[in-house]
Copies of this chain bind each other. A is one copy, B any other.
Amino acid sequence: MKQARPLPGYLVSRYKGWKATTYDENQAWYRHLAADGQHPRAMLISCCDSRVHVTSIFGADSGEFFIHRNIASLVPPCEPGGNHHGTSAAIEYAVTGLKVAHVIVMGHSYCGGVAGCHAMCSGKAPELEESTSFVGRWMDILRPGYDRLLPIKDEDTFLRDLEKEAVLISLENLMTFPFVSERVERGDLTLHGLWKDITNGSLLNYDPRADGFVPV
- The yes or no answer to A194 lying at the interface (CB within 8 A) is yes
Q: Which of A24, A34, A52, A110 has the most CB of B within 10 A?
A: A34
Partner of A32, one of B18, B41, B55, B116: B41
A38 B50 Cβ-Cβ under 8 A: yes
The answer for the CA separation of A38 and B53 in the assembled complex, in Å, is 13
Q: Compute how far the CA of A207 lies from the CA of B200 in the bound complex, rounded to whole angstroms.
A: 24
* Bound CA–CA A136/B32 (angstroms): 25
A96 nearest in chain B by CB position: B135
Contacts of A203 in B (CB 8 A): 15, 19
A93 and B71 contact, CB distance less than 8 A = yes
Q: Check A97 for interface membership: any CB of B closer than 8 A.
A: yes
Q: Which of B27, B188, B202 contacts A31 (CB 8 A)?
A: B188
Q: Select the residue from A24, A50, A61, A131 with max chain B CB neighbours within 10 A.
A: A50
Assuming the contacts A51-B34, A93-B48, asked whether A16 and B6 have C-beta atoms less than 8 A apart, the reply is no
Contact B4 A208 (CB under 8 A): yes
Residues of B within 8 A of A88 (CB): 134, 138
Contact A99 B32 (CB under 8 A): yes
Q: Quick check: A4 and B193 within 8 Å, CB to CB?
A: yes
In the assembled complex, A151 has its CB within 8 A of some CB on chain B:
no
> Are B198 and A33 neighbours in the complex by a CB distance under 8 Å?
yes
Contacting B at CB under 8 A, from A1-35, are: 1-35
Question: A57 at the A/B interface (Cβ < 8 Å)?
Answer: yes
Which of B35, B80, B112, B189 contacts A134, CB < 8 Å? Answer: B80
Q: Which of A158-208 contact B (CB under 8 A)?
A: 168, 171-172, 175, 183-184, 187-194, 198-203, 205-208
- A79-103 near B? 1/0 per residue, CB < 8 Å: 0111111111111111001111110
Complex partner residue of A18 from B36, B57, B110, B133, CB under 8 angstroms: B57
A-B contact pairs, 14 of them (CB 8 A): A6-B205, A13-B21, A15-B216, A17-B20, A17-B21, A25-B190, A30-B51, A32-B100, A33-B198, A37-B112, A39-B39, A43-B48, A67-B69, A70-B86
